[in-house]
Structure 1
Amino acid sequence: MKRIVIFYPHIDEYGGIERNIIGLSIKILDQGFIPVLLCFYDRIKMDNYQEGLQVEMLGDHWNPLVKSKQLQRWLLKNKGSILGLPLFFSGKAGFYAAWPFRKSYTYALHFTDPPSLLKAEKEQARIIRYLSMPRTKFASWLTAKGVKCADVCLTMTYWNARELHQSYSRNFEVIYQGGVPPITGRHPFRKRCVGNTLRLFSICRLTHSKNLNWILLAAKNLQERFAAKGWFEKLEIVIAGKGPDLDKLIALTRDLKLEQHVRFPGFLNEEEVEEEYRWADLFLVPAKQGYGLPVLEALYRYIPVVQNRESRISEMLAENAWVAVSDDHITSFTDAIEAHVTAIRERYPDETLLKDLMTEDKWATRVGKYCTWW
């Protein structure tokens, strides 16, 4: 049976790309093929997340040239059993494809986040120091080699595509990512923002780029604004997830005297996430990020959203009445929450506007076509 290969160099924790890989694996299995995840190491055991996914670990090494050779050797050895183009995820994958500066195999490259949103890689930094070249110049030059050699380049938004074209002089095909809608009937339509309690929900990794302090600062401000209008006897805020900013957020909650209004439940399993969605009135995304998949997951469940324009899924939803888009600062985000609640209470959005949202299955189907898997 033919195998479809996905290459993602280092798997340390379950995040957005790992979810993408699982989504693609589900579609590949449905089409009757074998999904193979190629990586240097997998610390979370991805095959436990999806039955039928085969994980091939090439082994880690301090020298990226050795790792690149391991990748090249595996792909050439297994060329006869690989269907279509192997899909390389992230600029980091392009970095390894660039060694040894010539194209020796075919592949498609999915650049999930553009350079402005990427953190410098430790491994790249070691090579750059060794070669005594400016860090950003060398990293950009090497990754550009991997981009140039790719047969197909993909990304998730036109915003990303424009930035990537400026960086690498290469056109990128845009495929909006989708999520997994809930089981039909599990979240029946009901009006939000109309009861005595306003429940605000956000879920993500608790890091600085997510701007989660905006939610707390906005809540403090909005308490007074809503009280002046006679709306909502109580405000409840749930910020779910784990990450390095948890202690700072707890401290800010205490400073703002919001302890009775805010919960930080940490990691939530699937049932717990569904329960939070069930009672949420607004889903909040203040983050600056390459996409923002949880926005779609909230909309599948008929939950209005307020999001930062710099969460780049905004380009797909900016004209949708279920979504309010703020500028990239706390004042605008706070005002957007107030305006969205006001608009919803005056005229509730039409649920038919959520009928044709992008889904993970549609996204995976299009990715597969570009990679000539089907």
Structure 2
Amino acid sequence: MALIAVTKESRAGETRVAATPETVKKLIAAGFAVTVEAGAGLAASYQDGDYEAAGASLAKTAKAAVEKADILFKVRAPADAEIAALKSGAIVVAMLNPYQEKAALEALAAKGASAFAMEFVPRITRAQVMDVLSSQANLAGYRAVIEAAEAFGKAMPMMMTAAGTVAAAKVFIMGVGVAGLQAIATARRLGAVVTATDVRPATKEQVESLGAKFLAVEDEEFKNAQTAGGYAKEMSVEYQAKQAALVSSHIAKQDIVITTALIPGRPAPKLVSAEQVASMRPGSILVDLAIEQGGNVVGAKLGEVVVTANGAKILGVPNLPGRIAVDASALYARNLFAFAGLFLNKEGAFAPDFEDEILKAALVTQGGAIVHPSLKA
């Protein structure tokens, strides 16, 4: 019987946990044994007693949890002490942030671990239930609007009162992926007037289906700006200039701007310039979801609220899903439970097939080396 270890996250500010009592029960039913480090779930409101009631054994320390484990479940990359305690050939499953945290990958490789980066799970139909990027981005988009509403000195919805009318807040979402769509939906629920933009024409229908208005220069070039595979084509310099002018004039009128653009393996693209920030009214809010990858907003700082000379605020809040730790952990843990099923054969025995297309796509270290094609030097 393969043993799965779950330990406390050592990263500052990381409140999530990689397994919940719900998924522990399911993992044990599937044929795994589970050891949980005492206190691993406390930051996400999951009690040690609930893990024990689900069938897990408790370990007093991370070392005690890890040293006999066949599989280590983590939210972020394991700490050096955890890697040192791993037995050779152990499997590690986590959001490893592989492009930015090469040192952790090198340490895992040196230990002989088979490490899987959940960010690399392919977006194919049978892997949807394992898609941690979507599960966590969905919550990040929601939380971004809540953070903006808290920092905003006005109400979000229009209110008709005996003392007069309160105007609805104007919210602009830049980037209509999973996080952007949830941000649109949340801002609309709070009563804001919402607009959104994206380089992919196909997102226009999604934006409008949520009751928001799509912002783009909709000429012939824009209508043909997507490949047959669904990817955005590079736009002409002329189009980019027209779109930039439209976005600049729009940002100047907004109360809240939320940016969500990320490019795997590269710094986040700059979507909002210093001049555009300076054009916003005092009290305006910008929330930069890409802050941990360098940020979409010029002037944004990780972990800080930057108040600009014109009185706008740029929120560089890291780890937004971690601010909803209960739900973020529950979704992430279900992603990992589904992924763990790939380690079992048809008879339910622990026998990982490293040629499985999902496992192969997510595998980053094995046999003492970094093996993912996009990470090789």
* Higher relative contact order, structure no. (Cα contacts within 8 Å, ≥ 6 residues apart): 2
Could you state the TM-score of these two structures normalised by the residue count of structure 2?
0.37
Could you state the TM-score of these two structures normalised by the residue count of structure 1?
0.37
Higher helix share: 1
